[in-house]
Amino acid sequence: MKKNPEKQTVNQNNSQSSMNRIEYTIGNILRWGVIVSAIIMIIGLFLYIIKDSFGYPKGYYAKSFSQIITGIIEMKPYSIMMLGIFALILTPVLRVIVSIYSFYKEHDHLYVIITSVVLIILIFSFGLGLFLHL
């Protein structure tokens, strides 16, 4: 029984088109993540210029998420800039998540496993930073 070469070509074109869309999506995630984080940082910078203070007493800075969220609600420039940095840090994490999906769609199980391990390491390192305040 011979395989239909036209059907194989159509499947390869669909697969290539799907990969192009995923690569385009990954590029957009990185691009928009940087743009959004830069906008947030600029807003925090403008607030710092206007208020001439980071919003906290000298020598004190928000160190927990609850303090940063409270600072954002109170429009403290330091907390807003920390939100921008957090958005910038999350951008490549989101890229890793989309890559896992991409490799899964390609049926590339080895890279699904490798990329999942990378995601686990990232989550573990974030957890260490949160709990040990590193």
pLDDT in the model for residue 13: 61
* pTM score of the predicted model: 0.73
Question: Tokens 């690569």 label which residue?
Answer: 23
pLDDT in single tens digits along all 134 residues of the chain: 555 555 555 555 666 676 777 788 888 889 999 999 999 999 999 998 988 887 777 777 777 788 889 989 999 898 999 999 999 999 989 999 999 988 898 888 999 999 999 999 999 998 888 788 65
Which residues make Cβ contacts (< 8 Å) with residue 30, sequence separation at least 6? Answer: 91, 92, 95
Task: Report DSSP state, residue 58.
Answer: T
- Whether residue 41 contacts residue 82, with contact meaning beta carbons closer than 8 Å, is answered with no
